[in-house]
Chains A and B, each alone.
Chain A
Amino acid sequence: MSKRIGMEVAVAAAEAAALCRFDVAAVYPITPQSHIAEHLSDIVADGRIDAEFITVESEHSAMSCAMGAAATGARVVTATSSQGLMYMHEVLPIASAMRLPIVMAIANRAVSGPLNILNDHSDIMPQRDSGWISIFAENGQEVVDMMIQAFKIAEHRDVQLPVNVNIDGFQLTHMVEPMEMPDQAEVDKFLPPLVPYATLHPDRPVSMGTFAMNDVYTEVLKAKDQALINSKKVILQVWKEWEKLFGRKYAPIVGYKTEDAEILMLTMGSMGETAEIAVDELRARGVSVGLLKMKLWRPFPFDELRKAVRGTKTLIVMDRAVSFGGPGGPVAGEVRSALYDQRSRPAIVNEIIGLGGRDMMVEHFIDIVERATRTGEKKKKSAYEFYGVREA
């Protein structure tokens, strides 16, 4: 039976991985992921599961070791943040190209320049093109659930792709809060043993991590793109199964008070919970506003987004990262692209908030909605705005 416990979310993420009986953890510590790394190593050192913890000397090695281990058929977990993820960047597309079902917890943290250890989404956004499945947790419960779901999704024979679970650094990782922790029997029932597609084994030699000339590279990439696209079916299946077993519902985009909303906010990660309070307060004042919480980032939920915004006049996309010199926030850029061909689509407002750990309070969300009701899209000087930035 699941048990209601209080636990630091980072520790809970490691506990969830332990419930999945991982075989190998190859992790390098970095704030604010460090409690995940430390607890994974405690779990292995205490012999709670039969696993190896590889004390690598860098994140690039962490991912490389994870890939090597996964290539032998091991169930592998790793975790990182920010610069660590940037350091792994070089090998991420190779992990997905090799179809290795690695699960990685990312404690989202601002990317350097200048150095900042606090929470935003600038570490995960540059990894959009890497071919990984990407999901975003909103609270401690979702962290636990998504870590376990991730293994099942990644390892499904129709998927065989790596998955990253995005956990807001400090905002979630360092928070002690209540959650229902499934028990070992429940997880064993949910998650069957890993049956890899191909493994490196001296008795059955294969080559993995191969080379492709221009005569076949395109075809390989199309196959990978399709794999990502087709994985959505499995993700929805896994989420349906999870709801049946645990009563907790997951969807690519979850709406909050969206009925007849003229304005919709779109958030990813834990800021969604704070935004819900803003929706409650605005609705109480008679403002027709709702909230969309995007939980599935890759593969991008085109159908769900288009359906969710049908009929609304204004969509305010909250980004916690910037594509410098580009379309503003990465999420808004993709949302605009997803809606471009629609016959009717809302005006899009892009607010860039919560950079480098800047606090996002209920009143900020209220202010953003009120400003959006006052100015139409046509009057805006720019497609995006750094909310609350100090001007000279």
Chain B
Amino acid sequence: MADAKKWPESWQEVNRGCVVFRPGSAGEYHTGSWRAQRPVWDNAKCIKCGLCYIVCPEGCISEGEDGFFSANLDYCKGCGICPHECWPRAIKMVEEG
């Protein structure tokens, strides 16, 4: 399929079955712009349990080489679930802007 279609499409141009042929194209939508707050890790308290990585509904928290965690701010919507679940209380939500 052509990789850049004009939008919005006419009825003749809509992909049959609404199949999306460009895998991972949802990644282009940087939902991080929705954020009003973002999570900040205090690695002195972090015990590297990985719970934040598991519970993040966006799947945007990842483990760094040092074993500590951080959120990909392109996608983090600031929902606040990671500090809520972090039982050593190593994560704090900080206001944007």
Contacts and interface: CB of A to CB of B under 8 A. Distances in A.
Instruction: Let me know if chains A and B touch directly in the complex, using CB atoms closer than 8 Å.
Output: yes
B24 interface: no
Nearest to B8: A390
Interface in A347-392: 386, 389-392
Interface in B7-61: 8-13, 18
B9 A390 contact: yes
B20 to A, nearest CB: 10
A114 interface: yes
B23 to A, nearest CB: 18
A391 B10 contact: yes
Query: Interface residues of A toward B: which range?
Result: under 10
B10 A390 contact: yes
Nearest to A115: B18
A390 B12 CA distance: 9
A205 B18 CA distance: 53
B73 to A, nearest CB: 28
A114 B19 CA distance: 10
B11 A114 contact: no
A343 B7 CA distance: 48
Contacts of B11: 386, 389-392
A390 B13 CA distance: 10
A389 B9 CA distance: 10
Contacts of A390: 8-11
Contacts of B12: 391-392
B13 A392 contact: yes
B10 A392 contact: yes
A392 B9 CA distance: 8
Contacts of B13: 392
A47 B10 CA distance: 53
Contacts of B9: 390
Nearest to B12: A392
A392 B8 CA distance: 11
A371 to B, nearest CB: 19
B29 to A, nearest CB: 16
A18 B62 CA distance: 49
A134 to B, nearest CB: 30
A392 B12 CA distance: 6
B67 to A, nearest CB: 39
Contacts of A386: 11
A390 B8 CA distance: 9
A161 to B, nearest CB: 38
Contacts of A113: 18
Residue of A113, A114, A390, A391 with most chain B CB atoms under a 10 A cut-off: A390
Interface of A: 113-114, 386, 389-392
Interface of B: 8-13, 18
**4 A-B pairs with the lowest CB-CB distances in the bound complex, closest first:** A392-B10, A392-B12, A390-B10, A114-B18
10 contacts: A114-B18, A386-B11, A389-B10, A390-B8, A390-B9, A390-B10, A391-B11, A391-B12, A392-B10, A392-B11
Given A114-B18, A392-B13, 6 more contacts: A389-B10, A390-B9, A391-B10, A391-B12, A392-B10, A392-B12
